[in-house]
């Protein structure tokens, strides 16, 4: 995991960048999936390996936006991190859907948030750290923005049992 140390400079490169093609590869797979040229599984697999960026809160956690407050759906909705708040996990069953803005590059991060503190990690780490019920909103300010629902990205252990007949005794 990398972070910019609280600096508001969003152009600073992480100390250990991912593969140079991570952003391009993920964006292209999303675009191909929208046109039927790639499967949701392809998007998921590419996201797992990609280096992604998130806005870094003051305390550990993920900053989120309520799906009903998505910028652009309401003329008066504020942009970027001004509408973000820390996700709180509670026992309430009727919580509105929460989206975690995740970005393929620092440029996409800056387009949505206007700049600020960030951290980067792999898509697999993001999914492994997200509390239940949060969805990923990939590059929300881009034309290729996509929502990865938590139900579709959840990895659960499965027990498979099969039986063999032993045949009959003579």
Residue with tokens 């975690």: 100
Q: Contact at 8 Å (CB) between 77 and 106?
A: no
Backbone angles phi, psi at 159, to 5 degrees: -105, 125
**Is 11 a member of any domain?**
no
51 three-state secondary structure: strand
pLDDT tens for the chain, 170 residues: list them. 565 655 545 444 444 454 446 789 999 999 999 888 998 889 999 999 999 999 999 888 888 888 765 544 444 333 433 333 333 333 444 455 789 999 999 999 999 999 999 999 999 999 988 888 888 999 999 999 888 876 665 556 667 687 777 766 55
* Neighbouring residues of 98: CB distance < 8 A, sequence distance ≥ 6: 64, 65, 66, 67, 87, 133, 134, 135
**Is 84 a member of any domain?**
yes
| Parent domain of 107 | 18-153
If one counts the domains in the chain, the total is: 1
**Is 112 a member of any domain?**
yes
Global pTM reads 0.67
How far is the C-alpha of 40 from the C-alpha of 37, rounded, in Å?
10
**Is 169 a member of any domain?**
no
**Is 166 a member of any domain?**
no
């Amino acid at each position: 995991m990398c972070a910019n140390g609280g600096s508001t400079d969003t152009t600073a490169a992480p100390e250990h960048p991912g593969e140079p093609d991570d952003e391009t590869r993920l964006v292209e797979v999303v675009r191909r999936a929208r046109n039927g040229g790639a499967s949701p599984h392809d998007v998921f697999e590419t996201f797992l390996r990609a280096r992604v960026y998130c806005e870094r809160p003051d305390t550990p956690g993920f900053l989120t936006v309520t799906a009903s407050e998505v910028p652009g759906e309401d003329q008066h909705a504020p942009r970027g991190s001004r509408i973000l708040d820390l996700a709180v996990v509670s026992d309430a069953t009727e919580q509105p859907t929460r989206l975690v803005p995740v970005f393929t590059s620092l440029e996409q991060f800056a387009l949505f948030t206007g700049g600020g503190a960030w951290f980067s990690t792999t898509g697999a780490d993001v999914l492994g750290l997200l509390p239940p019920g949060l969805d990923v909103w990939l590059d929300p300010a881009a034309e290729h923005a996509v929502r990865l629902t938590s139900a579709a990205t959840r990895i659960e252990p499965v027990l498979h049992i099969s039986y063999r007949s032993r045949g009959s005794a003579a």
